[in-house]
Amino acid sequence: MRHIPPFGALVFCIVCLFGLMVQMASAQSPQPNVVISQIYGGGGNSGAAYTHDFIELFNRSSQTVTLTGWSVQYASAKGTNWQKTELTGTIQPQSFYLIQQAQGNRGTRALPRPDAIGAIPLSSSSGKVALLTTSELLPRGTRCPQGLGVVDLVGFGEADCFSEAAASGLDNKSASIRGEGGCTFTGSNSADFGVAPPQPRNSSSSPTVCAEETAITPAANPRYEPVFTKPLPGLAPRLGLTETEQFFTRSIPSLLSAFLLTPTATPSERVVSTQKGLVISQIYGGGGNAGAAYTHDFVELYNAGSVTATVDDWSVQYASSAGKTWLVTPLTGTVGPGGFLLIQQAQGTGGSLSLPLADIFGETAMSASSGKVALVQSAEPLAGICPGGEVVVDFVGYGRANCFEGTGPTATPSNTRAVVRARGGSLDTDDNQTDFLIAPPQP
């Protein structure tokens, strides 16, 4: 029989352990959290607007960071020879830092005033970029840098080094852009970055205020190993998680569960319990169009809540970007916590891939570039250009839509790009412009 210690002794033990952890944490030398927020390698190429490649950094914290002595370093997708650009100066709280790189022979627009200037020719499609707290060039033969000095690493396209999963590949007209204006960080390049036209921001650009205070991390962080970063179930890794924090977040719930014999909610359950339930998580209207992989349009829903959602007698409804006629697809069934519901829509004449088995089948032909989609707690058609009321559970205007949640519609998707809600479908600030990225469809 397992011996369960007296409750008083257990409490004393936990209090002592917590006190020790606080002392350990206070011994850390904190520095704010800086990440790579944008990569663009198409500068000066055919069809490009901007004349130069660039790398952009963002300070997610509320403290100024000194970058003097730091560097950004680049290697090709499968390369082991790194090139560097040394950094100087500071990056202000919730602000950007623009690093100009090599110039091409085309393009018409100069970048905004750069904060640092390098001459690295980045690939327009695939590569690896590392942010380090040292200006020492990574050793020749290094395929995947990690350990002391590596603050952030992004692999995109066909890169053989990345954080958990590579970000999408790019072209001459597209950049890899971190979600939420630079705030998103889950530890996965694929989840954190979307594809959109380049949006270079420098130290004079408007600050981006993150929804939650960013954690403070040591600047030189030997424990951040991007290639091997794998999240615990329900726990997204965070840049620079200290050993003390790791012990606290992983061990204390286990200890409490073991000694008190009570279930402990996972971190993801605690996070999504503050979100509203069912949301529109993806919209793709390019199905069957020229260049499309998938044969059908689709709308995807995600249950960001902690209880099962029933959608009987609900609907998803679509109108053109400036339209007031709403096309209805009735819904039935349930969506469990953390689950998705796939709604197949009209088929085009192109494409080669069928969607995964859909949960709901409709026939709505959606625009690939601009439109409005509503999740409605009724199967009755909506009325008007911009319908509201309690019956509308979620609403997304994309591209050039004249109705949307928040400050503006999403960026413009295409035949090969979908509107995808950030953080795996869970980000919901009621602002379409902030909540959605443009990325390859992922039904």
Same domain, 287 and 174: no
Decide which of 180, 196, 212 is a domain's last residue: 196
Cα pseudo-dihedral 422, 427, 428, 433, rounded to 10: -30
- Structure confidence at residue 393 as a pLDDT band (50, 70, 90): very high
What is the average pLDDT value for the chain, to the nearest integer? 80
User: Vertex 355, ends 401 and 350: CA angle to 5°?
Assistant: 75
Does 377 fall in a domain?
yes
Q: Is residue 4 part of a domain?
A: no
371-385 pLDDT, tens digit per residue, is 999 999 999 999 999
Is residue 357 included in any domain, yes or no? yes
216 in a domain, yes or no? no
pLDDT-derived band at 146 (thresholds 50, 70, 90) equals confident
Percent of all residues in the chain with a pLDDT value above 90, rounded to a whole number = 60
Instruction: Write out pLDDT tens, residues 226-246.
Output: 443 333 222 233 333 333 333
Any domain includes 409: yes
Query: Among 38-42, 69-73, 178-182, 280-284, which stretch is predicted with the lowest mean pLDDT?
Result: 178-182
Give yes or no: residues 283 and 406 share one domain.
yes
Q: Give exposure, 146-156, as e/b (b: 16+ Cβ within 10 Å).
A: beebbbbbbbb
Residues 422-432 have pLDDT tens digits of 877 888 889 99
Residue 296 and residue 173 in one domain: no
CATH, residue 411: 2.60.40.1260
Residue 3 has pLDDT above 60, yes or no: no
Residue that has been written with the tokens 């959602």 in this structure = 309
The model's confidence at residue 276, banded by pLDDT at 50, 70 and 90, is: low
**Domain containing residue 145: CATH number:** 2.60.40
Cα–Cα distances in Å, from 423 out to 32, 148, 271? 22, 28, 12
User: pLDDT category, 2, cuts 50, 70, 90?
Assistant: very low
Q: Which residue range is the domain that position 111 belongs to?
A: 34-196
Q: What is the pLDDT of residue 207?
A: 84
- One domain, residues 300 and 173: no
Higher-confidence residue of 225 and 232: namely: 225
Per-residue pLDDT tens digits for 298-309: 999 999 888 889
Question: Among 3-12, 55-64, 298-307, 354-363, which stretch is predicted with the lowest mean pLDDT?
Answer: 3-12
For residues 47 and 177, membership in a common domain is answered with: yes
C-alpha dist (Å) from residue 25 to 15, 52, 57, 226, 252: 15, 43, 27, 23, 15
Report the pLDDT value the prediction gives residue 211, as an integer from 0 to 100: 65
| Lowest mean per-residue pLDDT among 17-21, 52-56, 312-316 | 17-21
Query: At which of 171, 196, 221 does a domain end?
Result: 196
Q: How many domains, in total, are found in the chain?
A: 2
Is 139 a member of any domain? Answer: yes
182 with 313, same domain: the answer is no
What three-state secondary structure class fits 42? Answer: coil
Rounded to whole angstroms, what are the CA distances from 61 to 156, 243, 257? 25, 20, 33
| Mean pLDDT (whole number) for 40-67 | 94
Within-domain flag for 295: yes
Least confident span in 29-38, 113-122, 234-243: 234-243
pLDDT value of position 403: 94
Residue 28 confidence (pLDDT): 29
User: Does residue 405 lie within any of the structural domains?
Assistant: yes
Residues 189 and 326 in one domain: no
Give the residue-averaged pLDDT of 412-420: 92
Could you say which of 177, 196, 215 is where a domain stops?
196
346-375 mean pLDDT? 94
Average pLDDT of the residues in 277-297: 94
Summarize pLDDT for 249-273 with one digit per residue, the tens: 334 333 333 333 333 333 322 222 2
